[in-house]
Structure 1
């Protein structure tokens, strides 16, 4: 079906405005289909003209436009022509729709723990026509009145407060104007924890089988919710306008969360059923703050078209980390941002798909999906930090508030945002915007011991970016100096660098740039790094080490030496977890030559064991160390004991997720026979357990196991989005290069065909996870390049292939230089 183009959206928005949406859903028709009736009241500025309605139904029973019957057969490729429009119009469409299994539209999932079914709506990016007829574009906002018929045992949640009426029909209160992609309905035997803050009713909801977990975590989540509301109200001076504030943790959710006004949805794996580190709770808290920030950036003021995605995501990212660091217990939130989110963004900048933060072309809605990446999120947030440094916090907040108030319940775009900011700043931001927002690429900053700081701009994306940053020096852990720097030339001189063993440019991580550390600093890291007291500076150092490997500037063996010498002494759990993940998931399997992988992994296991033995039992450090050890050790006795529940580290007794982690390591070592997997599965009949079992089976290195897993991924149309992800994750975690090599060709032939039954949002993730990342060979590059050029591959799969290929090419280049 064709994706709506920018030009089509502009023409339609110029012609019509939507006055009111009435949607009636019948979810009491069994597990496959549901009924959907839509009545749309809309105005036409040029009576007599024509437009089209978006609807993708299994069947259409009746259509009426202004009381006149319209043949349902007129729907072609999801579009219903509407001709001879009046000044004021009513169109009514009665359809039968089908539930999805790929996380898009109205997704239905069965909880294996108790057999109960759950439904949630995820209408992003262009899935709304799979749920109700609509004019599906972000700038045709309208108030919604929704009714839902549901089974008697279900509860219903949505954008408006839900009230149960006769015959199990729920009425949702009329909403303020919403874009189509913000509309949601969640229905099923959800359980709830409710509260109230500052006049706002609060609710947190989850599957019934997660009630104990929900009630355990709800107090902390409600506290962050209240703190975030207070922070945003103080910052923006614009109160939350959407009535109740429900947060629903739903199964098999593609994204981390979705900012539906009044009914935010989250993936329910954020309700940690086992042990959770402070970093994990921080990530969930930050997600809560991120989605709430969208109330103002996205919900209240919506981008006019997907070109200005950054007005949603960059702001939500920036505001969330600002909020969590200023208003919650997580005052060190920017540490996690630096080692997690920024590394994601830097990888996106190095990929061939890099694009500007703002104004990145989105000729149609589907192409916009490709730009939900580390640039729109992490780089955009970093750029906004630079804007604060450029114009001052007071002027920044004043400009943001003016923009919100002048566009509330409407739509905005880059030029309108800049106009508001320029008025608050008192001068033009054209040059700043051109350099930071409208030009792709990331600068490289280096500093030598003579004080020469250089800024190298990508040749393909020339820009004159001024960086506001600082430089810090450390010796024996003590900070020797910290010098503010304005880098507004290709090279500037920095005085006062003497007396430090380790010198860190951008030590406060204020700017967006890849940092090259000098040779003396690199040589000093094995002794100095753990002693540096500033976790943000350590985050910058670790990030420089990782990107140095990826860019081919640092021998991965040297990076491994730094890791094994210092990791066990790293006191921050976010740095411990993220750095270990980078080494175990990418650097060791891709950048270390195959005959050195086992030794490298063993060294990481040794560092993890040392950290575990030296950590306080039950602490975050101990938990991170135990997980890394479980994923890397070859100690059969330890693994066998842990999976049977013997000699477990403190705090991990009865932790099913840890048990699966151990079993998956055993599977990769070919130590997990069917009966053992079956026994562990019998002890964990939850959705998480079912998915973990699939990953475990796919992780076994045997040829038959790989053939089974690949067949399940590529031919079993009954697999959900999460099941596909679980299988793909396990598949490439083990096996010899010789056995796996044929799957590089099968990847490019088989994965694109999943588009026949898997939605774009889910398929792009599968294409990423199923990429033949272990086959680091020129032949893989060749076969993927050929596939990318094929016309039958969707834009999202092409983007996934290209981005993963660029990572593989980085590994090839590194091996060529350092092997």
Structure 2
């Protein structure tokens, strides 16, 4: 039985048979305040290339009331099963009418329903990627069956209703209801249709382009967040991106308007619905955040706007090219941030190197590693493939491709691609073909090496010098470490386009004095004659400017200089590359955790890039929690807590670094005096000049106090009373689950695993509080409970809810051989589905890596 799955072969067969023309969808949301179900009526017109053939349409609904195919009623009980409605005896031209009662969700999938505790009003939004439009209307749920969509929505009077087309003036319908009749969309895929409804508030503007182009812009949020909505800054970023993308793509924005809607309890960062982008409303900042948070938000805004062309206008044929959608949007968002006139973040490639690429490197060393162009056999495959390879490795490879073919030639190829395939579906070969035409490069070998193989290469410099310090030989050695056990395929050597940077100490700073760009062959050794005869510098940095995707190692002399002077690089990107190399060495057991800690504490004080500072803080915290020798861990944690407090007190008042160190200190404070300081900051008896202890920071302080037994239910309830919002409810749930008592852990576990009453974001908050690295003994009994429950959870919960639990509650803090043995026993006995196996195997790999790193730290 298919359940809610769909195989690629089924999709291919259906696409060969059908051509879908148009949907007319009527949704009655008049009783949304009560929840439960809503009436959905779908009329879809489509052709069949073979008269008399049979097919099916997708629908997930508690009840189907009516199915009429070409005027002939079909008995729902006979044709509806396993999320499919059977369609027998098709004609060349067909009309299907389906009336169903569909369910509101609290999982962030389909039509999500949320009640704001501030105003007790109901807010709705849809999230359809990958296969969840079928939770709202009957649909041929695959990306290559495009059609036009015309929505008619009945909603409570006074509600704002937003969809892919311009919002119409509502018609009175009596009984406190209004009808909103939207115009039909262009031909798009089901997964980028959208509906957002509720008493949202909006701010409006207009993008004015060349030739009189005018695009209406809207930004929306709930009224309870309106005072924090910095719409002007968001419009500024959006307009910069409109200018940049339209110039680079040479194709006008393809939709009638562009709305951005900050919605509650959103699972991802954002979603590229055509003309109606939904964004998690945590990006409406209620409290002070660092500039790094604004940079990440801006990248999200640019990413989704790029999708309007790459993904929405031109769409992948099947989900195996999902990587191209996401990698292209990621790459173009970063290059826009770094190049668009007026951008606040010209250093965006530093952030990319320090955050996105470390995510990719981590993912690419898991047993589940896969080629960028992954084999996607069914929907379950794609649902677990929104990973670091799909986004970050793919974007890294695109960056290298741009260096390989030339930036101008790359964008000329993209322009030709959009013009040739507008409103259609494509494969990777279509894009590569366009790039071959404009660049003159044969990309078949490049594609095979980079897109069809898994794993990561390591680049090391080999340097020989004479007695006078002049280089007599320089080569780049490339390694292809074996893929992790269980991974498919074999490790390969690849061609790389890299730069080699030579850095010298000048006026106390490490300045680049020479740069050589070259092609590294797909071989173990590539000689670099350009550097022969050059005086050996203080630091030699392979992959300078971060052109390629590879792990980089420093030679012994460079590493010694970097260890002492990493903060002295004049530019942020080489610092970030060296920080990333050190972190990767720590994860690989080539650098002891205690040495990584000292390296960070020695250099972080002179690190100006706040995003890098916060990455280092997260990485040190992870290293101490998982990679440190348990016998030394507490020593390291105390060393870090003392240093964090020192940095907090020394940081300029009111600045980003002060806030970052306040949060870092709050996460690791452990002595009585340190916890007393947290309590004093919370109740106002302690003050650090310039530090605003605002709403979000208060919760950070309280969570640590709760986790260490210094705060309990009365304090949590009092703080929730101060912040009686949805965010406050999430924070309170985290604090309650973090308390170091058996009763608190049992209550949290039951609420997530047994009771199934929590919304997606509250469940996530409880899991985040439950797993405390300082509470290993308290959490130890839950290893057995996890393996007793995990298969049932996968089978019974929706994908988003199940994945939160399966990954979040895996006993990752129990770093021991016993955890590995228990995991292996379960894998052998449970016969898990491939998607479930992948999630558990990935989690197991984290424990295995931590064991090796702990052994290295002991050494």
Contact kept in structure 2, 1:50 and 1:85, CA below 8 Å: yes
1:647 and 1:403 map into 2 onto residues whose CA distance is 61
Which residue does 1:285 correspond to in 2? 298
SS state of the match for residue 203, structure 1?
strand
Contact kept in structure 1, 2:794 and 2:836, CA below 8 Å: no
SS state of the match for residue 264, structure 1?
strand
Which residue does 2:228 correspond to in 1? 213
Q: Does 1:304 align with 2:304?
A: no
Q: What residue ranges of structure 2 are gaps of 5+ in the alignment?
A: 209-213, 465-473, 483-489
> Per-residue CA shift, 1:381-431, capped at 9, x if unaligned?
111111111111111111111111111101000111111111112232111
SS state of the match for residue 491, structure 2?
coil
Contact kept in structure 1, 2:500 and 2:540, CA below 8 Å: no
Which residue does 1:14 correspond to in 2? 16
Equivalent positions of 1:83-482 (< 5 A) are 83-163=88-168, 164-167=170-173, 168-198=178-208, 199-214=214-229, 217-327=230-340, 328-358=343-373, 360-450=374-464, 451-459=474-482, 460-475=490-505, 476-479=508-511, 481-482=513-514
SS state of the match for residue 136, structure 1?
coil
SS state of the match for residue 238, structure 1?
coil
> Per-residue CA shift, 1:58-116, capped at 9, x if unaligned?
11111100111011012110111111111111000000011111111111111122211
1:166 and 1:78 map into 2 onto residues whose CA distance is 35
Q: Does 1:579 align with 2:593?
A: no
Q: For the structure 1 residues 675 and 497, does the alpha-carbon distance in structure 2 shift closer, same or farther, using more than 3 Å as the test?
A: farther
SS state of the match for residue 112, structure 1?
coil
Which residue does 2:728 correspond to in 1? 689
Cα shift at 1:480: 5.0
Q: For the structure 1 residues 722 and 353, does the alpha-carbon distance in structure 2 shift closer, same or farther, using more than 3 Å as the test?
A: same
SS state of the match for residue 162, structure 1?
coil
1:58 is matched with which residue: 50, 59, 62? 62
2:605 and 2:836 map into 1 onto residues whose CA distance is 39
SS state of the match for residue 166, structure 1?
strand
**Matched residues, number:** 815
Cα shift at 1:516: 1.6
1:144 and 1:97 map into 2 onto residues whose CA distance is 18
Which residue does 1:700 correspond to in 2? 739
Q: For the structure 1 residues 796 and 11, does the alpha-carbon distance in structure 2 shift closer, same or farther, using more than 3 Å as the test?
A: same
2:545 is matched with which residue: 503, 508, 531? 508
Cα shift at 1:449: 4.3
1:204 and 1:651 map into 2 onto residues whose CA distance is 32
Contact kept in structure 2, 1:183 and 1:260, CA below 8 Å: yes
2:144 and 2:338 map into 1 onto residues whose CA distance is 33
TM-score (norm 1): 0.97
SS state of the match for residue 567, structure 2?
helix
Q: For the structure 1 residues 280 and 68, does the alpha-carbon distance in structure 2 shift closer, same or farther, using more than 3 Å as the test?
A: same
Q: Does 1:490 align with 2:504?
A: no
1:22 and 1:785 map into 2 onto residues whose CA distance is 50
Cα shift at 1:791: 5.1
Contact kept in structure 2, 1:445 and 1:453, CA below 8 Å: yes
2:110 and 2:681 map into 1 onto residues whose CA distance is 41
2:503 and 2:789 map into 1 onto residues whose CA distance is 52
Q: For the structure 1 residues 17 and 264, does the alpha-carbon distance in structure 2 shift closer, same or farther, using more than 3 Å as the test?
A: same
Cα shift at 1:261: 0.3
Cα shift at 1:275: 0.4
SS state of the match for residue 120, structure 1?
strand
2:426 and 2:753 map into 1 onto residues whose CA distance is 41
Contact kept in structure 1, 2:203 and 2:220, CA below 8 Å: yes
2:724 and 2:689 map into 1 onto residues whose CA distance is 24
Q: For the structure 1 residues 631 and 735, does the alpha-carbon distance in structure 2 shift closer, same or farther, using more than 3 Å as the test?
A: closer
2:808 and 2:28 map into 1 onto residues whose CA distance is 36
- Of 166-175 and 258-267, more deviation after overlay is shown by 166-175
2:115 and 2:534 map into 1 onto residues whose CA distance is 61
Q: What residue ranges of structure 1 are gaps of 5+ in the alignment?
A: none
1:384 and 1:643 map into 2 onto residues whose CA distance is 47
Contact kept in structure 2, 1:125 and 1:366, CA below 8 Å: no
SS state of the match for residue 633, structure 2?
helix
Contact kept in structure 2, 1:652 and 1:658, CA below 8 Å: no
> Per-residue CA shift, 1:794-813, capped at 9, x if unaligned?
44332222212112111111
1:591 is matched with which residue: 627, 640, 656? 627
Which residue does 1:730 correspond to in 2? 769
1:193 and 1:617 map into 2 onto residues whose CA distance is 33
Q: For the structure 1 residues 134 and 632, does the alpha-carbon distance in structure 2 shift closer, same or farther, using more than 3 Å as the test?
A: same
Cα shift at 1:710: 1.1
Cα shift at 1:790: 5.1
Contact kept in structure 2, 1:502 and 1:528, CA below 8 Å: no
Which residue does 1:24 correspond to in 2? 26
1:633 and 1:501 map into 2 onto residues whose CA distance is 38
Q: Does 1:71 align with 2:75?
A: yes
Root-mean-square deviation over aligned CA pairs: 1.7
Post-superposition, which runs of at least 4 consecutive aligned residues in structure 1 deviate over 6 A? none
Contact kept in structure 2, 1:38 and 1:94, CA below 8 Å: yes
1:481 and 1:506 map into 2 onto residues whose CA distance is 15
SS state of the match for residue 40, structure 2?
strand
Cα shift at 1:483: 2.6
- Of 779-788 and 306-315, more deviation after overlay is shown by 779-788
SS state of the match for residue 344, structure 2?
coil
SS state of the match for residue 703, structure 2?
helix
Cα shift at 1:668: 2.0
